């Protein structure tokens, strides 16, 4: 039930939600590392455990919140998740104590699990009948591009707000996200979602949840059996997840604690982080467009070559950052990673789609995301201990070293998982019919 009686058109509302949320998250997150390191005085282990807590919370609640969206309401999940995300940021701004920060990030994971997926599913329900499923990719791409542009504006504003207090970007961004959720509740329609009859009753929902979990486990096993070499691809995803967690949590602390900022017009470190976040978003926008064109133009073998080169260059850039002492070299290395990193995900997706049969494709893509989360959860505490006991430089190098087995896994998987042909499609359909 809506709070008002004036629903708006879904497509512009979806674009407004995506870009508005990205703008407000840019305000909150562009300078959050400065808040953690200078006010909270978090060490590398604590920084990485923040990310681990977020990932575990998101991982644990992803399935039940997805079921809630499928069985009860997409709209309810979108609005509730968005509000909880805002509340979590306001919580984090109230105190820089580690107990408060980690509690807030667990709450943030719950909000993200509620919102992520439900928002895309909501707009698909509202627009697919009108546009067709094949045109939804363009809708998602446009939302991503607008979100990146909005992130630039939010990141720049974050540095300005942080000059009045390092806790203020989180407080302002979180409060405005809560207001965005409340305003959206007044106008957000849900015309094409039909609640399943079987969803009535808590016990039925619980039984369906257990059945869905068992079905997904069986499907994942079938996908691994049906696609030789898929385990290698999951191993690559696990290693890149381990690296990404160490890099995301430690590069900012490395800049603040190990590198001297240049005295350029008396800029506060928060302004440096604000500008870096804006530049990273801009290059990310260009990189996503490049990735789209490459996946459309190149064949599977060429995509694998690009993946190998990108992974090697990213590892070299992180190693260069970890061993550098000059501010310009560190920032340049960070921007190289920022340019290349957004290209990896769509290239892997395109490569998998071209080589994995439709019967197990969705399961394989979901399993890949689960292995990425597992890498972040498993690697964060280990690298955090290394960063605390040794140094952040060594922790960054350790994370970069995880990309070496990732390269080996993708090279081996490229030989085991072959491109789909008409013959393999026919065999897959026959196998699926026999299994069904």
Q: How far apart are CA 401 and CA 413, in angstroms?
A: 19
- Reported confidence tier of residue 6, pLDDT bands at 50, 70, 90: low
Residue tagged 């974050």 (tokens):
158
Specify whether 268 is located in the same domain as 196: no
Q: How far apart are CA 95 and CA 433, in angstroms?
A: 58
Query: What is the token pair recorded at 38?
Result: 């200078």
Candidate from 48-52, 355-359, 384-388, 395-399 with smallest mean pLDDT: 355-359
Q: Give every CB contact of residue 233 below 8 A, 6+ residues apart in sequence.
A: 348, 352, 368, 409, 410, 413, 417
Note the pLDDT tens digit of each residue in 360-409: 565 566 677 778 888 888 888 888 899 889 889 999 999 899 899 988 88
Phi, psi of 44 (to 5 degrees): -55, -40
Tallying the residues shown for the chain, one arrives at 436
Residue 209 lies in a domain: no
pLDDT score recorded for residue 300: 52
pLDDT score recorded for residue 426: 45
**Residue 218 pLDDT exceeds 70:** no
Residue 317, Cβ density class (10 Å: 0-12 exposed, 13-18 middle, ≥19 buried): buried
Q: What is the pTM for the complete model shown? A: 0.78
Q: In the chain, pLDDT over 90 holds for what percent of residues?
A: 28
Residue 211 lies in a domain: no
Specify whether 227 is located in the same domain as 183: no
Specify whether 386 is located in the same domain as 311: yes
Domain total in the chain: 2
Alpha helices, H only, 163-266 = 168-187, 202-226, 230-258
Specify whether 161 is located in the same domain as 235: no
Query: Which of 138, 171, 200 is the endpoint of a domain?
Result: 200
Closest by CA position to 170, among listed 89, 106, 109: 89
Specify whether 75 is located in the same domain as 127: yes
Contact 32, 377 (CB under 8 A): no
Residue 363 sits in a domain of what CATH number?
1.20.1250.20
Residue 299 lies in a domain: yes
Query: Which of 142, 168, 200 is the endpoint of a domain?
Result: 200
Residues 300, 305, 308, 312, Cα dihedral to 10°: -150
Residue 208 lies in a domain: no
Specify whether 238 is located in the same domain as 314: yes
Residue 210 lies in a domain: no
Q: How many CB atoms lie within 10 A of CB 175?
A: 16
pLDDT score recorded for residue 220: 59
Closest by CA position to 13, among listed 191, 132, 169, 158: 191
Domain range enclosing 4: 1-200
Residues 420, 423, 428, 433, Cα dihedral to 10°: 150
Residue 205 lies in a domain: no
Note the pLDDT tens digit of each residue in 66-119: 777 777 788 898 999 999 999 999 999 999 999 999 999 999 999 998 887 788
Contact 233, 413 (CB under 8 A): yes
Query: Which of 200, 226, 255 is the endpoint of a domain?
Result: 200
Specify whether 168 is located in the same domain as 227: no
DSSP string, 71-107: HT-HHHHHHHHHHHHHHHHHHHHH---HHHHHHHHHH
Q: Give every CB contact of residue 107 below 8 A, 6+ residues apart in sequence.
A: 57, 84, 87, 88, 91
State mean pLDDT over 336-354: 74
Residue 206 lies in a domain: no
- Higher-confidence residue of 51 and 194: namely 51
Specify whether 272 is located in the same domain as 153: no
Residue 328, Cβ density class (10 Å: 0-12 exposed, 13-18 middle, ≥19 buried): exposed
Specify whether 221 is located in the same domain as 158: no
CA angle at 175 for the pair 172 and 176, rounded to the nearest 5°: 85
**Residue 289 pLDDT exceeds 80:** no
Specify whether 385 is located in the same domain as 243: yes
Specify whether 110 is located in the same domain as 9: yes
Q: Give every CB contact of residue 433 below 8 A, 6+ residues apart in sequence.
A: none
Q: How far apart are CA 158 and CA 429, in angstroms?
A: 52
Specify whether 185 is located in the same domain as 226: no
Residue 168 lies in a domain: yes
State mean pLDDT over 277-299: 70
């Amino acid at each position: 039930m809506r709070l008002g009686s004036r629903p708006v058109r879904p497509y512009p509302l979806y674009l407004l939600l995506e870009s508005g949320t990205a703008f407000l998250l840019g305000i909150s997150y562009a300078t959050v590392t400065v808040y953690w390191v200078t006010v909270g005085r978090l060490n590398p282990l604590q920084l990485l455990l923040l990310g681990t807590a977020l990932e575990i919370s998101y991982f644990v609640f992803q399935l039940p919140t997805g079921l809630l969206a499928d069985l009860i309401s997409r709209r309810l999940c979108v609005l509730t998740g968005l509000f909880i995300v805002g509340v979590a940021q306001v919580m984090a701004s109230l105190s820089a104590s580690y107990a408060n920060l980690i509690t807030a990030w667990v709450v943030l994971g719950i909000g993200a699990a509620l919102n992520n997926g439900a928002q895309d599913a909501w707009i698909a329900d509202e627009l697919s009948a009108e546009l067709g499923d094949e045109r939804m990719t363009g809708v998602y791409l446009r939302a991503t591009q607008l979100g990146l542009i909005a992130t630039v504006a939010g990141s720049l504003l974050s540095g300005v707000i942080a000059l009045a207090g390092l806790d203020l970007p989180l407080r302002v961004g979180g409060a405005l996200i809560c207001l965005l959720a409340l305003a959206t509740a007044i106008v957000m329609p849900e015309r094409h979602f039909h609640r399943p009859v079987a969803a009535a009753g808590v016990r039925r929902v619980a039984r369906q949840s257990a059945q869905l979990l068992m079905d997904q486990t069986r499907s994942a096993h079938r996908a691994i059996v049906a696609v030789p070499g898929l385990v290698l691809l999951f191993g690559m995803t696990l290693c890149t997840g381990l690296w990404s967690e160490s890099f995301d949590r430690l590069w900012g602390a490395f800049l603040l604690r190990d590198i001297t900022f240049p005295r350029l017009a008396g800029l506060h470190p928060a302004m440096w982080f604000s500008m870096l976040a804006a530049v990273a978003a801009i290059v990310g926008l260009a990189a996503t467009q490049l990735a789209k064109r490459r996946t459309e133009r190149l064949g599977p073998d060429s995509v694998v070559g690009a993946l190998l080169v990108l992974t090697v260059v990213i590892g070299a850039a992180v190693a260069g950052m970890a061993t550098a002492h000059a501010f310009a070299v560190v920032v340049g290395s960070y921007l190289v990673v920022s340019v290349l990193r957004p290209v990896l995900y769509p290239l892997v997706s395109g490569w998998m789609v071209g080589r994995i049969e439709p019967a197990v494709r969705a399961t394989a893509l979901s399993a890949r995301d689960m292995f990425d989360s597992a890498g972040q959860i498993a690697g964060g505490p280990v690298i955090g201990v290394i960063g605390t006991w040794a140094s952040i430089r060594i922790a960054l190098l350790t994370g970069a070293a995880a990309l070496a087995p990732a390269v080996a896994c993708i090279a081996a998987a490229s030989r085991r998982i072959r491109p789909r042909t008409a013959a393999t499609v026919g065999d897959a359909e026959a196998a699926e019919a026999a299994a069904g």
